[in-house]
Amino acid sequence: MSTTEFVIATGNPHKLLEIERILSPLGIRAVSQKEAGVSVDPEETGTTFEENALIKAREVSRAAGLPAVADDSGLCVDALNGRPGVYSARYAGEGASDADRIDKLLGEMKDVDEGHRGASFVSAVCCYFSENDWFCVRGECRGSIAFCPAGSDGFGYDPVFIPDKAGKTYAELTGEEKDMCSHRGAALKKLRLELDKRYANER
């Protein structure tokens, strides 16, 4: 197939790199919103990860005139009844840093013992072509919340999330290792399968 451009509905360079790694083997060039000349910042009013991913993909696709891929992801902690969930990015208030959000999380978890610190990272990825042509996929990764941050090769809650069987946090994994086990990696693999089927006849 010829190279196809998809605009990636995020201002987060880390997410852009993760999505690029998955789309590139399909002959799809991931274009940032900046490259596409898009400055929209859709309000995430959905109550699920899938709803928010669709909102972002739809608005950015329409603004750019290109197919769009959007991710909405978050951390769901068992001991906090699934919080922060879809509010992960806003957990410590508007303008808060990753460190602020981690501090708030660890503060709420300070009395939770090691056996009850289970959590899931969830990612919903929406691929939007038009109002009648779009789909969402979901990926999840089970793990636990560390007692203190570790690692520097990550973003968000990566320094305090330990995937099951990994023995270290997301932020201590290489990009390739993270892709193999991460929630976004799982969702993007499903995205890749769906796109592979879509474009199979063009090869």
What is the DSSP code string of the chain? ---EEEEE--S-HHHHHHHHHHHGGGTEEEEETTTTT---------SSHHHHHHHHHHHHHHHHTS-EEEEEEEEEEGGGTT-BGGGGGGTT-TT--HHHHHHHHHHHTTT--GGG-EEEEEEEEEEEEETTEEEEEEEEEEEEE-SS---SS--TTGGGEEETTT-S-GGGS-HHHHHHH-HHHHHHHHHHHHHHHHHGGG-
Nearest to 122 by CA among 176, 20, 53: 53
- Candidates 41, 71, 72, 113; catalytic one: 72
Active site residue 71: no
User: What is the rounded distance in angstroms from the CA atom of residue 89 to the CA atom of residue 49?
Assistant: 12
* Catalytic sites, residue numbers: 72
